[in-house]
Amino acid sequence: MEAGDSSGGSAAYWVRRAVSSIIVIWGVATLVFVTLRLVPGDPVESILGEQALEVDKEKLRQCLDLHLSLPVQYGHFMVEVATGTFGELCDQKNVTVRDKLLESIPPTLELAVASMLMAILIAIPLGVISALKRGTWIDAGAAFVSLLGLSMPNFWLGPMLLILFSITLRVLPDPGAGIEGLAGLILPAITLGTALSAKLTRMTRTSVLEVLGQDHVRTARAKGLSERVVVARHVLRNALIPVTTIAGLQLGALLTGAIIVEKVFARPGLGSLLLEAIEMRNYRVVQGCVLVIALTYVVVNLLTDLLYTRIDPRVSLTR
Partner 1 sequence: MLDLRWLARSPTALFGALVLTAVLVCALFGPLLAPYARSDRDVTQQLQGPTATHPFGTDENGADMVTEVIHGARVAVLVGLGSVCVSLLVGVSLGALSGYLGGWVDEVIMRVIEMLLAFPGILLAILIIFITQEPSLLTVIFALSLTGWTGYARLVRGQVLVERERDYVEAARALGLPTPTILARHILPNVLGPVIVQATFGIAGAILAEASLSFLGLGPQNTASWGALLNQGANYFLIAQHMALVPGVAIMLTVLSINFIGDALRDHLDPRLATQPQS
Judged by the rule CB under 8 A, the positions of this chain that interact with partner 1 are 20, 23-25, 27-28, 31-32, 35-36, 38-40, 46, 132, 134, 144, 147-148, 150-153, 155-156, 159-160, 162-163, 167, 209-210, 212-213, 251-253, 255-257, 259-260, 263-264, 274-275, 278, 286, 290, 293-295, 297-298
Compute the half-sphere exposure of residue 45: CA atoms within 13 Å on the CB side of its CA: 6
As measured in angstroms, the least distance from the Cβ of 180 to partner 1 is: 21
8 A C-beta contact, residue 306 and residue 245: no
As measured in angstroms, the least distance from the Cβ of 135 to partner 1 is: 9
As measured in angstroms, the least distance from the Cβ of 156 to partner 1 is: 3
**Overall residue count recorded for the chain in this entry:** 319
8 A C-beta contact, residue 40 and residue 48: no
Cα–Cα dist 171/168, whole Å: 9
DSSP 297-313: HHHHHHHHHHHHHHH-T
Closer of 124 and 251 to partner 1 (Cβ) = 251
As measured in angstroms, the least distance from the Cβ of 64 to partner 1 is: 15
Closer of 78 and 295 to partner 1 (Cβ) = 295
Closer of 94 and 279 to partner 1 (Cβ) = 279
As measured in angstroms, the least distance from the Cβ of 294 to partner 1 is: 5
Strand partners, 88: 96
Cα–Cα dist 33/72, whole Å: 12
Closer of 116 and 162 to partner 1 (Cβ) = 162
Q: What is the CA radius of gyration of the chain?
A: 24
As measured in angstroms, the least distance from the Cβ of 255 to partner 1 is: 6
Cα–Cα dist 189/68, whole Å: 45
Closer of 118 and 290 to partner 1 (Cβ) = 290
Cα–Cα dist 112/100, whole Å: 19
Task: Tell me the one-letter amino acid at 310.
Answer: R
Cα–Cα dist 298/116, whole Å: 18
Which of helix, strand or coil describes residue 96?
strand
Closer of 4 and 224 to partner 1 (Cβ) = 224
Closer of 132 and 317 to partner 1 (Cβ) = 132
Give 88's DSSP letter. Answer: B
As measured in angstroms, the least distance from the Cβ of 93 to partner 1 is: 25
